[in-house]
Amino acid sequence: MAKRVTTIPATVKKYTAEPLAGTKKRRVAGYARVSTDHEDQVTSYEAQVDYYTSYIHGRDDWEFAGIYTDEGISATSTKKREGFKTMIADAKAGKIDLIITKSVSRFARNTVDSLTTVRELKDRGIEIYFEKENIWTLDSKGELLITIMSSLAQEESRSISENVTWGQRKRFADGKVSFAYSRVLGLDKGPDGRIVVNPQEAETVRLIFGLFLEGLSPHSIAAELTRRGIKTPGGKDVWNQQTVRRMLSNEKYKGDALLQKEFTVDFLNKKTKKNEGEVPQYYVEGNHEAIISPTVFDMVQAELEKRKRGGFRYSGVSIFSNKIKCADCGGWFGSKVWHSTDKYRRVIYRCNSKYKDKKCGTPHVTEEEVKAAFLSAYNKLVSEKAEIVANAETIRETLCRTDALEEEKCSLENDMAVLAGIVQNIIGENARIAQNQGEYQERYNGLVGRYDTAKARYDEVVRAITEKEAQNERLAGFIKILKAQAGIIAEFDERLWSSMVDFVTVGRNKEMAVTFRDGTEIIA
């Protein structure tokens, strides 16, 4: 008997399982997006919305399911595109049968996102139509075409990202400074685009730097600013120590600008990280009017570093915090509360290491005793004012000079620039011309070693200049305050204590020596 084959025609649709003879209208949604919120894109955005609304309503076999939009959103990732995510959720919920969009690049420039979304919808029988490329995703050729088009779109995004990055770095190299003004207290963008000082906010900046140099910690400064009702850079009522610490380290307050502190690691997810040498940075000196003098700013940086490497937790709760030193171990006294819950409550200061492994024999002291020691030492200082001032002036003239260091700094900068240029040249030459790689590596290592040596010395010189300038500023302030004093004082003056005293050393017999900011030590 001869073989016979009978064809049984399909009765339902391949992806939706609906009867082929059905007359149910397809629920169709449109998706429109522009990648920036510039005015010149508004027309394109509105045109897409109007076009797809009319287009869907114009088909008798389609039922309008809405227009989903994202304005001013990049297509490289779907994570932040709320309109897109809402549309996909509605499609999965059975509210949409077909999605129409202008092109693959409007839908997604990320190949993985694009294919993942298409496949998820395809499994549910939901189709996407890309008008520009004339691709229907339920078509057999759809996925191949989408893969190709998405890859091209992703490469276009890469190219755009690289062009934008190049433009930003070119502006950095040219010294063109821009930053988020809303996050920097005291500096505004002027009518001509230049950075200008906001006088009212600048007073807050100066207050923060002043309080820090008086001995307060960032935490204590934050509490004081909150108590005074001063607004944060973001307009909030409550300050935190991180905000204060960032302000104390922001070079823009001395009129300079460090560019490219962060950089974008991946153009697809827009992830950024702190620049730790992966890409060049650019330092612009004298870019705008300073709120804090460079010398005072450097003093603050030196103090931040000193507190950081002190090997203890710095406390700036009171004016005596980290101002009382132990003669036995060199550590600092901390405040302790005795009888905290009864009428005999009082605060004393005791060496923080007194009952640790290395027990100290120094006794505790009270605030009254420290104040009395300061009064005694200060009045002795004032009685010898002329001699103390003369000595301080001599120290400024001799020990605080930076002329030789500045010359060495310039010489090292030139040497590093020359070495960096040579290294770049030999790298380029090695890429163009075949060479003995052993000889090339030896030469490269030698040049890099010379550069690292020069850089290490350069860092030492810069640090020495900063320390000398900070010492000079401290002495200048000390001399100015001392000259203004008419005579001895009868009561403790908190301002004089904060501005003139470096620390007080307590001995085993409770004897105290007051060390002033010019280095003068007086036994109380």
- What is the rounded average pLDDT of the residues 182-187? 85
* Confidence at 492, pLDDT banded by 50, 70, 90: confident
pLDDT value at residue 174: 57
Say which CATH topology domain 26-164 has: Rossmann fold (3.40.50)
Q: Find residue 262's DSSP bridge partners.
A: 274
Please state the domain extents for the chain.
Answer: 26-164, 181-308, 362-523
Which amino acid is it at 125? G
As given in the structure block, the two tokens for residue 7 are 């064809």
Better pLDDT: 420 or 356 = 420
Rounded Cα distance, 30 and 26, in Å = 13
Q: Does the pLDDT of residue 204 top 90, yes or no?
A: yes
Per the prediction, the chain carries an average pLDDT of 79
Q: How many CB atoms lie within 10 A of CB 379?
A: 16
As given in the structure block, the two tokens for residue 85 are 């995510």
pLDDT value at residue 41: 47
Lowest mean pLDDT among 124-128, 164-168, 289-293, 354-358: 164-168
Model pTM score: 0.51
Q: Does the pLDDT of residue 12 top 50, yes or no?
A: no
Which secondary-structure segment (H or E) carries 201? Answer: helix 199-213
Rg over CA atoms, the chain: 35
Q: What sign does the CA torsion over 306, 307, 310, 316 have?
A: positive
Q: Does the pLDDT of residue 314 top 60, yes or no?
A: no
- What is the rounded average pLDDT of the residues 319-332? 84
| Strand pairing category for 271-274 and 262-266 | antiparallel
Which amino acid is it at 98? L
Which amino acid is it at 374? F
Q: CA of 33: how far to CAs of 25, 75, 299, in Å?
A: 26, 9, 51
Q: Are 409 and 458 in contact (CB under 8 A)?
A: yes
pLDDT value at residue 239: 92
Lowest mean pLDDT among 105-114, 242-251, 311-320, 403-412: 311-320
Cα first-last separation, the chain: 127
pLDDT value at residue 115: 72
Q: What sign does the CA torsion over 16, 20, 22, 26 have?
A: positive
Q: How many CB atoms lie within 10 A of CB 403?
A: 7
Rounded Cα distance, 245 and 298, in Å = 14
Q: How many CB atoms lie within 10 A of CB 240?
A: 14
Length of the chain: 524
Q: What sign does the CA torsion over 341, 342, 345, 351 have?
A: negative
Cβ contacts of 257 within 8 Å, gap of 6 or more: 177, 179, 251, 283, 284, 287, 288
Say which CATH topology domain 181-308 has: Hect, E3 ligase catalytic domain fold (3.90.1750)
pLDDT value at residue 406: 92
Q: Does the pLDDT of residue 1 top 70, yes or no?
A: no
pLDDT value at residue 393: 87
| Coil/strand/helix, residue 441 | helix
Q: Does the pLDDT of residue 187 top 60, yes or no?
A: yes
Q: Does the pLDDT of residue 38 top 70, yes or no?
A: no
Q: Does the pLDDT of residue 521 top 70, yes or no?
A: yes
Q: Find residue 338's DSSP bridge partners.
A: 346
Q: What sign does the CA torsion over 60, 63, 66, 69 have?
A: negative
Lowest mean pLDDT among 20-29, 162-171, 201-210: 162-171
Rounded Cα distance, 304 and 310, in Å = 10
Residue in the structure block whose two tokens are 């227009």: 67
* Confidence at 287, pLDDT banded by 50, 70, 90: confident
pLDDT value at residue 91: 92
Q: How confident is the model over 73-121, as pLDDT tens digits?
A: 554 445 567 888 899 999 999 999 999 988 877 776 565 667 778 878 8
Better pLDDT: 156 or 441 = 441
Q: How confident is the model over 214-273, as pLDDT tens digits?
A: 777 888 899 889 999 999 988 889 999 899 999 998 888 988 888 766 656 554 455 666
Instruction: Quote the Cα angle for 465-470-475, to 5°.
Output: 125
Cα-flanking dihedrals φ and ψ of residue 69, to 5°? -135, 155
| Coil/strand/helix, residue 371 | helix
User: Cα dihedral angle (294, 275, 78, 156), rounded to 10 degrees?
Assistant: 110
